[in-house]
Structure 1
């Protein structure tokens, strides 16, 4: 994922640059600033800026001053200067600031695209992977497939945590996915504004604290909260087309941390408990209680392996009021006690 900043005070030029950059670098997050002051605020706010486009003739601080400030903070950022002025003295000064390229307006799309790819050394394989992630996010949200969404989201989190335990910081894979989710929500309108703020807070927390055992539960809980916000809206759009088993699965995922009963879920699915129980088994090949147990045991495994929560705390967080009962269920389902699972899967947490 690339963080790209455009510093441009002309709205037509800004929109043109955004459109071309979005097509050229699919796995990008574009930030914009119409003044030098806003550009400096972005430089201070963003932990990473891969590329910055700067119009020299922006309101003060001017483009030169913005670049000078950026170079003091982050010398690795690629800088492309855009201007309608071809004065040699300006060009010479740009070279002294060690900018990566200098483009005269109006900028041809082909020249801009070539400059971006050359400067960023865009990884086409990574771009293809981002396209697939973007499509997956869109399909899961638009179809309101809450169960598969949680499986998708937590598989990415757990894979990154596995790498973290091995000394490889892959937390960026999680923040990249969250930024793609945020971009998708932008296309769905203002009703997701508060959810996008939650995503920004979680992303910032991961960047600051990583995916340590002490931070895992906080991240997981945050992702559950985001999912609830996203799918509450999605459910309103497609609930009329969902059968009652899918409705039941939706409400199970939404309330996965709570005590779930057949009567409660049947009421939310608008069918009788007996009918839901039979249909659940026929449709999914597993009983209602077994389905919920499997979902919660899956989460318990992740918490045992990647978090520092005590076993009895994990039981309580997943609404097993009796820790001993949780241990018996866990052993029945996995063949091993929770403490033994933790010792084998994550000995450093023990």
Structure 2
């Protein structure tokens, strides 16, 4: 996800730039300022600015002064200057500010997209991947597919933690997903504001500090909480039809860390316990209890691999009151004890792993 700032005082030109940027880089968040003062406020407010489009002749402080201020905060932000003056002296005066490109107004669409592609190194593959990600996230929310969402999100979290050369890019994928959630929540107005603040805080933490073993569980539960906010709202406005099996799976995902009983889920699915039990096995191929155990153990495996929680603590967090019972269930499912599993998937000893 890219943070892009447009600094332009001409309304028509600003709208044109925003439309082109939004269409070409649709994994972007576009911020606008029509004065130098507002541009400086954005520089102070945003943790990261990937690219800034600056009109040199904006009201004071002018574009040159805005870029000078930006460089005191960030040396990595890409800068494209726009101006109606074809004056080489202006270009020469900005060389020491590390300006990446210089475009004459009015800026043509093809000229701007070429400049963005060169400056941000955005490829057609990147654009296609971004659009696919946006479509996938939108479909899961629109269809209230909570089960698929949790698998998708927690896989992204685990991939972001993996100690591989792609770890950094996978962490960016996770923050891109969160940026898309933030856009969705922003579209809900005031109703999405509280959850939107959670997302912003989560993006800042992951971007600045990464995902350490000590922070993994807190980040996981934060993501689950955000998902609950998003899907509770989605369910209220779901326009399709949801079978009682899908409704049961929805509430299982919503309460994945809690103690789940057949009676509770049946009540929330508006069917009897006996009927849900029979139909659940027939429709999913899993017995109700086995399905819940499989979902909880999937979370447990991630906690064993990426968090520093003790095994006893993991059992409690998954609402197993008896850690020995948790260990038996885990061994039945995986063929090994939680401690042996942790030794294999997390070779570096976790100081607090003893149960």
- Give the structure-2-normalised TM-score: 0.92
Contact 1:239–1:247 (CA<8 Å) still a contact in 2?
no
Contact 2:245–2:280 (CA<8 Å) still a contact in 1?
yes
Deviation of 1:84 (Å): 3.2
Partner SS, residue 144 of structure 1: coil
Q: CA 1:332 to 1:98, structure 2 compared with 1: closer, same or farther past 3 Å? A: closer
CA deviation map 1:100-130 (0-9, x unaligned): 2222322222222222222222122222211
Aligned to 2:214: 214
Q: CA 1:231 to 1:265, structure 2 compared with 1: closer, same or farther past 3 Å? A: same
Structure 1 residue ranges without an equivalent (≥5): none
Aligned to 1:70: 70
Partner SS, residue 82 of structure 1: strand
Deviation of 1:8 (Å): 2.2
Deviation of 1:189 (Å): 4.4
Contact 1:209–1:215 (CA<8 Å) still a contact in 2?
no
- Give the structure-1-normalised TM-score: 0.93
Aligned to 2:353: none
CA deviation map 1:5-55 (0-9, x unaligned): 112233332222111012222332322233323322333343432211012
Query: Comparing 208-217 with 304-313, which one deviates more in the overlay?
Result: 208-217
Deviation of 1:244 (Å): 0.8
Aligned to 1:25: 25
Partners of 2:348 and 2:115 in 1: CA distance:
47
Aligned to 1:340: 340
Q: CA 1:348 to 1:198, structure 2 compared with 1: closer, same or farther past 3 Å? A: same
Deviation of 1:180 (Å): 2.2
Aligned to 2:198: 198
Partners of 1:168 and 1:126 in 2: CA distance:
17
The reply to whether residue 263 of structure 1 matches residue 263 of structure 2 is: yes
Partners of 2:45 and 2:305 in 1: CA distance:
33
5 Å-filtered alignment, 1:78-227, equals 78-86=78-86, 89-163=89-163, 168-169=167-168, 170-227=170-227
Q: CA 1:348 to 1:46, structure 2 compared with 1: closer, same or farther past 3 Å? A: farther
Contact 2:143–2:240 (CA<8 Å) still a contact in 1?
no
Aligned to 2:295: 295
Deviation of 1:94 (Å): 3.2
Partner SS, residue 75 of structure 2: coil
Aligned to 1:282: 282
5 Å-filtered alignment, 1:31-42, equals 31-42=31-42
Deviation of 1:239 (Å): 7.0
Contact 2:159–2:171 (CA<8 Å) still a contact in 1?
no
Over the residues paired in the alignment, what is the CA RMSD in angstroms?
2.0
Partner SS, residue 211 of structure 1: coil
Partners of 1:47 and 1:303 in 2: CA distance:
29
Contact 2:161–2:167 (CA<8 Å) still a contact in 1?
no
Deviation of 1:89 (Å): 4.5
Partners of 2:186 and 2:16 in 1: CA distance:
19
Deviation of 1:186 (Å): 3.4
